[in-house]
Amino acid sequence: MADTGEGRKGKPMEDMEDMEDIEDMEDAADGFIALDGLEKVFDVRRRVGAFRREKRRVRAVDGISFRVARGEMVGYIGPNGAGKSTTIKMLTGILTPSGGRVRVAGIDPSRERARLASRIGVVFGQRTTLWWDLPLIDSYRLAQRMYRVPDARYRANLERCVELLDLGALLDVPVRQLSLGQRMRGDIAAALLHDPDVLYLDEPTIGLDVISKAKVREFLRDLNAEHGTTVLLTTHDLQDIEQLCGRVMVIDHGRLLYDGPPAGLHEVGGSERTLVVDLERETAPIELPDVPDVRVVRVEGPRQYLAFPATGSAAPLVARVAAAYPLVDLSVREPDIETVIAKMYVEGATVPEDRTTV
Amino acid sequence: MRLYVLVATGSLRRYATYRVATVAGLFTNIVFGLIIAYTYVALWHLRPHLGGYTLPQAVTYVWIGQGLLAATAIMGGGFEDELAERIRTGDIAIDLYRPADLQLWWLAQDLGRALYQVAARGVVPLFAGAFFFDLALPVNPLVWAAFLLAVLLGLVVSFAIRYLVALAAFWLLDGKGAAQVAGLAATFWSGMLLPLNAFPGLLGEIARALPWSSMLQLPADVLLGTRGGWGTLGAYAFQAGWAAALLALGRLLQAAATRRVVVQGG
């Protein structure tokens, strides 16, 4: 992980200079968020022997470039330690990039963090911005003061969030007494009271039950559709991406592996879904010579696991199995994101350079 | 500005929700006050006018100290544990992207807490002391007002020191050790164990010149009236000077810390 990035070290200077021309075109439709060869390098000291310490460079973000247009809803995924949160931290200005450049709404985040803050909203699934010991409403009053939201607008936004996120009964409840799902909805509302142009969500559905997940997704979809809020979300849940995002970016080891529609991810990753069938009795492994690309991967008594390409539909397969075998029950398992990415990474499936800067 | 007032009142209300803790703290204050006060009674019988205090003044000093112990967070218990913990866990990231000044934010929070504790933990120990002992408390409301101003300045100095200690967590990754050392230092140098006036020779000179004397020794002297009118102004100047210097140092450290910030845990 230390220095795999030799090849990318010398990002051509001409590229950088070309970028200067486009600089600060704040509302240029195709570059509301713009990253060019963004890098973040950490020096990590590691102990070797009793007294000696070795300095090691870790390239957490290793030359990432992309554009996000205003009103886009983009998924940003990758395994743990891929560099997702580091990217988000540079986008919010908490971390200063080691190299390359980043602009959000024409603003250099680390240099003008305070000015940018009023235009972005941030939700961390694993942390809360709310005031732990006080009723939810106090956190919202605080947000109003902090972002200097005029009273009328504050009331309107609060009303909308309370209604859509179902917070009415919770406003007077101390945050520490909220369930995780309630707290997450409370956090999302807190991030939106000042009408941010961009919303960053860091694993917004982590740990939530199915109903809470659905509520959060529905709200985000409406927010994006009605207010044109640009949304960048990181997640480990492939369903978040499939249900919300028209575009997904995959990173690993600090580099962009894929940038395109979620469906294409399965194509590039060559991922497979699994059809689990329960038969009436144990039989020999299912054989369907006329359905291509299907194979039995596991047999557990009367239960059999069939892998088929994630790009195809399960319907014809199900029909064929039902016709030829004594079918009792079935379910379809989606490939999880880690597997897809792991596969992509192993196979070295990378997108052509020009597609990474769409 | 209104933002920070809101932060302070929120913090005040937050501490006010823990009533049992307040009562337990008061009980501790009274027990410790009794122990130290009886020790002083013995000491002042052996060495009358030690540090220029009469026995009633010395005993009053004890109860002022118990009344301010929680507010000044001399032995810990202020915002610093929370801030150090947020640095350790990475929650500090949330504080950093807010369009608010980190230092003012935490100052407002700590002052809110301290104001609650001046009211909730400050008054009862004085009454308890007056019940058991003959205290040298002034009747002039102006002296009390002067005292409260000195207390306020002392609270700011106390905050400024603890802010430095909490920021050390950026480098130490765990702030508990630093907080413990700071608590011990503050307990000794603030005069919580023995009035700094009673420290002999050079040690006394040093103790009275250090910022910790702003927290208890100077406010107590203003209330006891041992410094006179100009002495009170001198005390304010001393406190304000240390407050400004330490807050400025805190800003420098904050800038250095946020530059090198490696937010942990994600």
Cβ pair B230, B199 in contact under 8 A: no
Q: Does B16 touch chain A (CB under 8 A)?
A: no
What angle separates helix B19-46 from helix B55-72, to the nearest 10 degrees? 150
Strand ranges in A69-119 using DSSP code E only, listed in sequence order: 73-77, 99-104
User: Which of A104, A124, A132 is the best residue to mutate to test the B interface, defined by the most B CB atoms within 10 Å of its own CB?
Assistant: A124
pLDDT at residue A211 in the model: 87
Question: Which regions of chain A are under pLDDT 50?
Answer: 1-29, 349-358
Strand-pair category, A198-202 with A33-47: unpaired
Q: Which of residues 223-262 of B touch A (CB under 8 A)?
A: 258-259, 261-262
Cβ pair A61, A39 in contact under 8 A: yes
Distances (CA, A) of A116 to A107, A147, B130: 7, 11, 56
pLDDT at residue A83 in the model: 87
The alpha carbon of residue B215 is apart from the nearest alpha carbon of chain A, in Å, by 28
Task: Tell me if B99 and A141 make a contact (CB, 8 A cut-off).
Answer: no
Percent share of chain B, pLDDT over 70 = 97
Q: Which of residues 20-79 of A touch B (CB under 8 A)?
A: 42
Residue B262 has pLDDT above 70, yes or no: no
pLDDT at residue B261 in the model: 63
Task: Tell me if B96 and A94 make a contact (CB, 8 A cut-off).
Answer: yes
Element (H, E) at A309: strand A303-309
Mean pLDDT of B128-153: 96
Cβ pair B28, B176 in contact under 8 A: no
Mean pLDDT of B89-116: 91
CA distance B77 to B92: 19
Element (H, E) at A249: strand A247-252
Contacts of range A309-312, beta carbons closer than 8 Å, 24 or more positions apart? A309/A266, A309/A270, A309/A271, A309/A272, A309/A273, A310/A266, A310/A271, A310/A272, A310/A273, A310/A334, A310/A335, A311/A263, A311/A266, A311/A267
Q: Which of residues 147-206 of B touch A (CB under 8 A)?
A: none
Is the ipTM above a cut-off of 0.90? Answer: no
CA distance A41 to A5: 11
Please give the single-letter amino acid code of residue A159.
Answer: E
Contacts of B261 in chain A (CB under 8 A): 94-95
pLDDT at residue A5 in the model: 39
CA distance B231 to B184: 28
Please give the single-letter amino acid code of residue A11.
Answer: K
